[in-house]
Amino acid sequence: MESDSNMQLTDGTYPVDLPVNDYNDLSSNPEEHFSYLDKKKLLNLPQNEQMNMNQDNIGLLPLFDDDECTPSLVILHAPGDETQVVAVYLHRKWWSVDEVLKTSSKFRSGLVVVGSIMERIVLFLMSQIVFGFLERTPGEHLYFSPHPMKEFAKIFWQDGEAVGFYTIKKKGTLCNRWTGQSYLLPVLDNVFVRMQWRRKGLALQMLEDFCSSFPKEEVVGLSYPMSASMHEVCRKYLQIHQEQRDRLYEVESPGDWSQRRNVWLKLQLNHHPTNSEAHESEQLGSSSNEHCNK
Ligand SMILES: CC(C)(COP(=O)(O)OP(=O)(O)OC[C@H]1O[C@@H](n2cnc3c(N)ncnc32)[C@H](O)[C@@H]1OP(=O)(O)O)[C@@H](O)C(=O)NCCC(=O)NCCS
């Protein structure tokens, strides 16, 4: 069996640093790709492991929630387990998920607005693969829906790696494809920090960044339902920024006054989940409110 060692480039360039003008340039043309697979190849993985590539462990993941013509990402997953994504096919090469989340650009540092196609893919991987499967804690009950193609988002880059992100539903953007309703205020929709970088103040920085981005808005929102950990981030934020206590609301879309609950008041009244309650509700099989993204 032929061995294929093109898992990674060795010059320190990562997929996000390579230019892409169009989603079609990602070489995710399924026909081309699957005919390549007919040759039955082995993929070299980090740590000297090898994986047999065949039709059964290659999948296509739609990148966006917008419409049926959404571009897809070609992924390699563990045999029999589509949730264990091992590698991603980009720029005509296979890359581990960790490599796709890296950058060699010094300009990607701190919170950076998602602009390029490759940054969209980094956002997708963190939201759907890393948070969705690879770094899922037992008892975690939240999932993020794939983000629309044009959704405003920032990635937190640290030491050459994407370590977290947040997305915003801007005031005036449509709530979904089925109703004509649009958001009545800016809403912080999804927030995520990778496991290894948690409890280092990154979510707090993202919340501060979001709240300070809309100085003219009397009220800003956080998408309902907020996780137990996010309630604690808000508590810390509102202890530091007391002047924001009247301004931060948990909201359901589109966010009229009957759909807003003041976060500080909720915390004072203990009307919020704790991490242990979230775990219990998962064990009891509760499946309400799993999706943070509406
Ligand atoms: C929620 C989340 C984004 C927090 O990210 P983070 O970078 O670890 O949070 P921070 O380090 O900024 O936390 C700031 C403060 O919030 C509180 N806090 C954060 N996570 C907490 C937790 N799990 N338990 C208790 N308090 C917590 C602490 O007071 C913390 O300050 P400290 O570490 O000095 O004590 C992260 O846990 C995550 O990605 N969770 C999964 C996705 C999720 O729940 N997203 C929110 C959707 S609504």
In a structure prediction context, what are the per-residue pLDDT tens digits for the chain, which is 294 residues long?
334 434 554 467 899 999 888 887 775 555 555 555 545 566 666 666 777 777 778 888 999 876 667 888 989 898 888 888 988 988 888 899 999 999 999 999 999 999 999 999 999 999 999 999 999 888 888 899 999 999 999 999 999 999 999 999 999 999 987 888 999 999 999 999 999 999 999 999 999 999 999 999 999 999 999 999 999 999 999 999 999 999 999 999 999 999 999 999 999 998 777 766 544 333 332 223 344 443
What's the pLDDT at 56?
78
Measured at the CA of 256, the angle between CA 253 and CA 258, to 5 degrees, comes to 105
CA 193 to ligand 1: nearest atom: 39
Residue 205 CA to ligand 1 center (angstroms) comes to: 11
What's the pLDDT at 211?
98
CB 88 within 8 A of CB 74: yes
What's the pLDDT at 280?
39
DSSP state for residue 120 in the 8-state scheme? H
What's the pLDDT at 183?
98
Residue 291 CA to ligand 1 center (angstroms) comes to: 18
Peptide bond into 254 cis (omega under 30): yes
Q: Where are the domains of the chain?
A: 1-99, 101-294
- pTM for this prediction: 0.88
Residue 203 CA to ligand 1 center (angstroms) comes to: 6
Instruction: Output the residue whose Cα is nearest ligand 1's atom 9.
Output: 203
Three-state SS string across 229-283, please? HHHHHHHHHHHHCHHHCCCEEEECCCCCHHHEEEHHHHHHCCCCCCHHHHHHHHH
> Which amino acid type is present at position 30?
P
Residue 107 CA to ligand 1 center (angstroms) comes to: 26
Return all residues near 86 (Cβ < 8 A) that are at least 6 apart: 45, 51, 75, 76, 77, 78, 96, 97
CA 199 to ligand 1: nearest atom: 11
What pairs with residue 250 in β-bridges?
222, 261
Instruction: Output the residue whose Cα is nearest ligand 1's atom 33.
Output: 199
Q: Half-sphere exposure of 218 toward its Cβ, with a 13 Å CA cutoff?
A: 2
The residue among 156, 116, 161 whose CA lies nearest residue 14 is 161
What's the pLDDT at 10?
45
What's the pLDDT at 292?
43
**Alpha-carbon distances, residue 3 vs 21, 25, 112 (angstroms):** 31, 25, 38
| CATH 3.40.50.150 correct for 101-294 | no
Residues in the chain: 294
Query: CA 116 to CA 108: how far, in whole Å?
Result: 12
